[in-house]
Amino acid sequence: MPAFFLTDDKASQEEFLACIRDTAKAIAESCAQPAPDSGAGGQAFFPAYCGPEPAELRAQLAAIPVFPAEGKGFQAVLENIRTHVLPNLVRTASPGYLAHLHSPVLLESVAAELVIAAFNPSMDSWDQSPAATEIEVLVIRELCRLFGFGGTADGVFTSGGSQSNLTGILLARDAFCTQKLKFDVKKHGLPENSARFRMYASEVSHFSMEKSAHLLGLGYGAVRKVPADGRRKMDAGALRRMIREDLAQGNLPFCVAATAGTTDYGSIDPLDDVAEICAEYGLWMHTDAAYGSGLILSGAYRNRLRGIERADSVTVDFHKMFLQPISCSAVLLRDGSQFSPLELHADYLNREEDEEDGYINLVGKSMQTTRRFDALKVWASFQVRGKDGWDAILASCVENAAYVYERLQAAPDSFETIAPPEISSVVFRVRPKPGSVCSGEADTDRMNKSIRRTLLHKKGIITGQTTDNGRVFLKFTLLNPAITRNDLDRLLACILALRDGWQP
């Protein structure tokens, strides 16, 4: 019978070490798999994926009984992981992994995950997480400083940008009800006129805006989509007009959710203009910086977030530009006292008498109860890399995107682009080979889709795909600071080679 837990018992400690050592070895060795031909000349890429297509993978995994009658022991399961799981996961650290805001993970943060898993602290109350609670408080304080917030700011780690957005919009709704309507949502639920509540987000904002409106009982109809300009940034003039229109119709604007780094384009809404408008109409300013928050670590590019310090709430995702394992995110408030709607005391958990004596129970700022010690990963990687290390990481990603854009612009016969990147994503459409039989936009759509599928299954390269004005575009999301210009040249060459060989 294998040991259950890691304890003060020497045998359990040895078993723990063996289990971790064998697992770590299997993981490291799995990254040495041979790569499929990159087709772009020179040395093959460290591939992002070389597993089978969906049906084959499904059949392979379905052959393993999930819950056998008799336990097989750890080594047998590790063998299954080695054979069937590890080879069939994507390598986020591959230079050919470019599809999503899904980052490679820093080594120190993987080590921190081991500490988190081994001790399993839970952030709801101090007596479940003494050092963990104190570290989260310190990391949050440092983040508030980085974002230019004053001494009354506060924040909390969350499960992701979606939950951070939901938290920000929930607090906006509750502050509006309390302050403007003198109505306590916490006690009474939504007021009768809640169908008139309106929030504003750009037409290219994240879908968690609508999801939040639904979850908060306001419905999708409460989210007014503000047009974006040619650079996919919110049109501030249109925002002002829409607020006026709503006020004239008797609707109740309560929040503007600006985006600092849209999911597709990385475009940043005009934060200062939005802050001005929010101040003028007394609206809560939420800033969804799930993607763009990383820029705050860059000396050269942090000014692109100018105005973010005027937001009432900010979403920061660490499992994107901050290169942390999932999950790792936070929501920050310029005025920490605005967390009060989330506070609720339970005799079995967060007694007020303890808090009066200096025990911090972070559950009072969170939607979650049991919660992970994700702050450790940020704490570790901030110290390992330092401000200079992080500055270089961010510069590399931003400058790689600028380089790709420049290369695409230099080949207008081969590529169509949309806007110069503000962060690290580049959206582009491959044009048919000059003189080819491929004619019309629908054929070009099919060609772009086909290039993406071929890259995935034949080249071990995973690019993004989206649509813009109804047409199919490909996307590079550059979160890996180790990608070189040479890698980028090879990726583009590989795409052009597939384009040249494509038959409608």
Closest CA to 172 of 308, 21, 342, 361: 342
Minimum CB distance to ligand PLP, residue 210 (Å)? 12
Closest CA to 314 of 145, 142, 168: 168
Whole-angstrom distance, CA of residue 405 vs CA of residue 315: 27
Residues 6+ apart with CB under 8 A from 132: 121, 123, 373, 375, 376
Task: Provide the edge-to-edge strand list for the sheet that holds 415-417.
Answer: 97-98, 462-468, 471-477, 425-430, 415-417
**What's the token pair of residue 251?**
């609707």
Minimum CB distance to ligand PLP, residue 189 (Å)? 26
User: Could you tell me which stretch among 159-167, 234-242, 338-346, 485-493 binds ligand PLP (CB under 6 A)?
Assistant: 159-167
User: Could you tell me which stretch among 33-41, 156-164, 211-219, 481-489 binds ligand PLP (CB under 6 A)?
Assistant: 156-164
For ligand PLP, give the closer residue by CB, 162 or 396. 162
Residues 6+ apart with CB under 8 A from 466: 264, 427, 472, 473, 475
Q: Which of residues 427-466 bind ligand PLP (CB under 6 A)?
A: none
Minimum CB distance to ligand PLP, residue 199 (Å)? 15
Q: Which of 101, 143, 362, 451 binds ligand PLP (CB under 6 A)?
A: 101
For ligand PLP, give the closer residue by CB, 96 or 160. 160
**What would the x/- binding string for ligand PLP be over residues 316 to 345, using CB under 6 A?**
-x-----------x----------------
Q: Does 160 bind ligand PLP (CB under 6 A)?
A: yes
3-state DSSP call for residue 483? coil
Q: Which residue has the tokens 């010690």?
A: 373
Q: How far is CA 394 from the centre of its chain?
A: 15
Q: Which of residues 249-268 bind ligand PLP (CB under 6 A)?
A: 259, 261-263
Q: Which of 290, 408, 461, 474 binds ligand PLP (CB under 6 A)?
A: 290
**What would the x/- binding string for ligand PLP be over residues 345 to 384, using CB under 6 A?**
----------------------------------------
For ligand PLP, give the closer residue by CB, 288 or 374. 288
Residues 475 and 98 sit within 8 Å (Cβ to Cβ): yes
Q: Does 174 bind ligand PLP (CB under 6 A)?
A: no
Q: φ and ψ at 222, to 5 degrees?
A: -75, -15
Q: Which of 197, 254, 291, 382 binds ligand PLP (CB under 6 A)?
A: 291
Closest CA to 59 of 67, 50, 51: 51
**What would the x/- binding string for ligand PLP be over residues 180 to 209, using CB under 6 A?**
--------------------------x-x-
At what angle are helices 161-179 and 208-215 packed, to 10 degrees?
50
Minimum CB distance to ligand PLP, residue 106 (Å)? 17
Q: Does 288 bind ligand PLP (CB under 6 A)?
A: yes
Compute, in degrees rounded to 10, the torsion defined by CA atoms 449, 455, 456, 461: -130
Closest CB to ligand PLP belongs to which residue?
161
Contacts with ligand PLP by CB under 6 A lie at: 101, 160-162, 165, 206, 208, 259, 261-263, 288, 290-291, 317, 329
